[in-house]
Structure 1
Amino acid sequence: MNKTIKKLDNNVVKALTQACETAKQWDIGFEWLTHTARYNHFPGSLMVTCVFSSENEIQIVTDQGIDKKLRQLIQGQLLKAGIRLQDIRRHVRLDSEERCVSQDNGDWKTRLSRWSS
């Protein structure tokens, strides 16, 4: 990873860390987030995965429109870091520990690799 890409990734991590800490305070079942990106196709390749503990929590968040608020939070933090995304809905997905266990035996590395290609 060259210096420019390393700096860009650090900016993404800082922005997403801020968003993560804020979202954890909302008491909505949100647990953590992570990202994948191919920096030779950035920012179009950026994918942020927001992880909840259960599918039920994702359903509640979606039904109440909190998913939109979460995406706006992430978009705002990325924008502060100078990263502009055309359509935040294409860059943020909601997932759950429950789904990862049932579909990938709890292996997040394998699971996330499907969305980073």
Structure 2
Amino acid sequence: MQLNKRQQAAMERLLAETLTEACETAKAEIVGFSWLSHAVDYAAFPASLAVVWVFVSQADKNRALAAGEGARMIELTAQALGEADIQLDPLAAHVFFDSEEQCRRINGGDWAQRLAPLRPGRG
């Protein structure tokens, strides 16, 4: 789906709105979850869309995933993207889990650098 600049801006606002709702729900439900973000290359949209769920620590992330919370976060992602009329199959290939701790350790806290390679099909 090729989007012009105006459509890209509208999609970005819609993604921010729907993903913010998912984030707030997860904060209330999932211990150690902190925030989420997304990365996208609109030249390859929607295939390049990646949603990243970020925990405070690696231990929080590991604990949540071991408890099956990853499925809940994928479900929340599906709801958010559905509200934005975006279908991705398989959705799980576009959902990533990370931690602030790992970003500081590996990327010096630079989330732009850390998120860049997470876009599916982009390396």
TM-score in same-fold range (> 0.5): yes
Conservation of the 8 A alpha-carbon contact between 2:30 and 2:69: no
Match of 2:50 in 1: 47
Rounded Cα–Cα distance in structure 2 between residues aligned with 1:19 and 1:35:
12
Structure 1: runs of 5+ lacking an equivalent: none
Give structure 1 regions of 4+ aligned residues with deviation exceeding 3 angstroms.
Answer: none
Match of 2:41 in 1: 38
- RMSD, aligned α-carbons: 1.3
Total equivalences in the alignment: 117
Matched ranges for 1:51-62 at <5 A: 51-62=54-65
Q: Which amino acid aligns with 2:94?
A: H
Note the C-alpha offset of 1:19.
0.5
Percent identity (aligned)? 34
Rounded Cα–Cα distance in structure 2 between residues aligned with 1:4 and 1:102:
36
Q: Secondary structure at the match of 1:43?
A: coil
Rounded Cα–Cα distance in structure 2 between residues aligned with 1:93 and 1:8:
20
TM-score by length of 1: 0.92
TM-score by length of 2: 0.88
